[in-house]
Amino acid sequence: MSRPNTPGQALQALKLPEIWPDRSQSWASRRQELVALLSQHVYGRMPLEHGPLEVKILAEDARAFAGKAVQQTVELAVELPGGRFAFPIQSIVPYSGRPAAGFPFFVHIAFRPDVPDKYLPAEEIVDSGYALLNFCYQDIAPDHDDLFVSGLPALYPAWLEQPDRWGKIAMWAWAASRVLDFAGLEAARGAQFDVNRAAVVGHSRLGKTALWAGANDPRFSLVISNDSGCAGAALERYKTGEDVAAITNRFGYWFGPDYVRYANQPEAMPFDQHFLLAACAPRAVYVASAAEDAWADPDAEFLSAWAAGSVYPALGYAGLVTENRWPDADCSLHQGRVAYHRRPGCHYLSRTDWQRFMTYANQLAGRS
């Protein structure tokens, strides 16, 4: 497909399904429908029932990062229909500059448990006045097709019999909400976290996961996807690189059973990925692209962000604030409740990405 001269022309030609066609319907009710639609057709449905969260500190470094923060390894556990599920997280909380309401924080859905990590400049995040809650997705459900016999899904056995049973993206997203439960418990004890400034962030397959976590859990006030591509931020109807056929062929277990039906026929989808971004509205949603990431398709991610922004004005906010031209290889569009950046280089969660996320999060706080 050759690229139309302007993104506006591209969107017009696509004739995307409308996010909120009946404006007499309340947004709260339409938003629920979007989540239900995406559950049914893409990610599978998340179970809701679980026991109360149990918290156990496994290890503590009170002088982490040159003495600037306390770092704890914490075990979170809940009772589920099939037994007890426990997983470790890392909690990093700065000592200085604590706002009265507690620190704003990132729930980082991580490829590895390590803090710091090549995708996680933890000291810089601490220095910027943010706390961090980090967990490794493989500790929730392993990232391979094991027929859901291990980790979290095995403890919801009946759920796996459902025709719209969840896939692994939904399982990893479920865990992000349990981590947020932990922040809530800590905040209730007067501890460090400002639960009104909770962001969820992930890269690539975990960027898809961050979006699904944010769509499901309105307690996340900022939802950030980095290079999330197919089944993440990118419009399926527009994109090149990875498509539904390619992703379900390699990673069918990430999704509910229905998604594969749309392989090679995106026009049959009663939705597109702008529904996923809009399901976060009126909260802030941030789409980050890498200029050379053709597999994810930066233009398709940008168009989706722009299309999703269309619901915000009726909710009292600007969506994506942009001119009608394709983004430069290095740009940040931070003025609306839908934010976008494109940075030079390839598929990676870089320091540059984090710096821009924090710039935007600071700006949001200044506004509210």
31 binds ligand GTR per the rule CB under 6 A: no
Beta strand 331-333 with 338-343 is antiparallel
Of residues 330 through 359, those in contact with ligand GTR by CB under 6 A are none
204 binds ligand GTR per the rule CB under 6 A: yes
Q: Which of 165, 178, 205, 337 binds ligand GTR (CB under 6 A)?
A: 205
202 binds ligand GTR per the rule CB under 6 A: no
Judge whether 334 counts as a catalytic residue: no
Question: Residues 283, 289, 294, 298: is their CA dihedral positive or negative?
Answer: positive
Residue of 204, 228, 289, 350 marked active site: 204
Measured between alpha carbons, how far is residue 241 from residues 5, 245, 293 in Å? 20, 11, 9
Comparing CA positions, the residue from 143, 135, 176, 170 lying closest to residue 156 is 170
CA dihedral 314, 316, 322, 325 (to 10 degrees): 10
Are 62 and 69 in contact, with CB atoms under 8 Å apart? no
- Smaller CB separation from ligand GTR, 221 or 228: 228
- Say if residue 2 is exposed, middle or buried (CB neighbours under 10 Å; 0-12, 13-18, 19+): exposed
- Smaller CB separation from ligand GTR, 10 or 349: 349
**Amino acid identity for residue 129 in this structure:** G
Residue of 50, 332, 334, 347 marked active site: 347
**Amino acid identity for residue 137 in this structure:** Y
288 binds ligand GTR per the rule CB under 6 A: no
Question: Residues 102, 367, 343, 213: is their CA dihedral positive or negative?
Answer: positive
Task: Provide the 10 A C-beta neighbour count for residue 207.
Answer: 26
297 binds ligand GTR per the rule CB under 6 A: no
Judge whether 108 counts as a catalytic residue: no
Comparing CA positions, the residue from 223, 205, 226, 206 lying closest to residue 214 is 223
247 binds ligand GTR per the rule CB under 6 A: yes
- Interface with ligand GTR: number of residues (CB under 6 A): 6
Q: Which of 229, 298, 309, 327 binds ligand GTR (CB under 6 A)?
A: 229
Interface characters, 41-80, with ligand GTR (x: CB under 6 A) = ----------------------------------------
109 binds ligand GTR per the rule CB under 6 A: no
242 binds ligand GTR per the rule CB under 6 A: yes
235 binds ligand GTR per the rule CB under 6 A: no
Pairwise CA distance, residues 332 & 335, whole Å: 9
- Smaller CB separation from ligand GTR, 194 or 242: 242
Shortest distance, position 303 Cβ to ligand GTR, whole Å: 18
Interface characters, 152-191, with ligand GTR (x: CB under 6 A) = ----------------------------------------
Find all residues with CB under 8 Å of 89, minimum gap 6, and list them. Answer: 73, 74, 76, 133, 134, 135, 179, 182
> Would you name the residues annotated as active-site residues?
204, 347
**Binding stretches for ligand GTR (CB under 6 A):** 204-205, 229-230, 242, 247
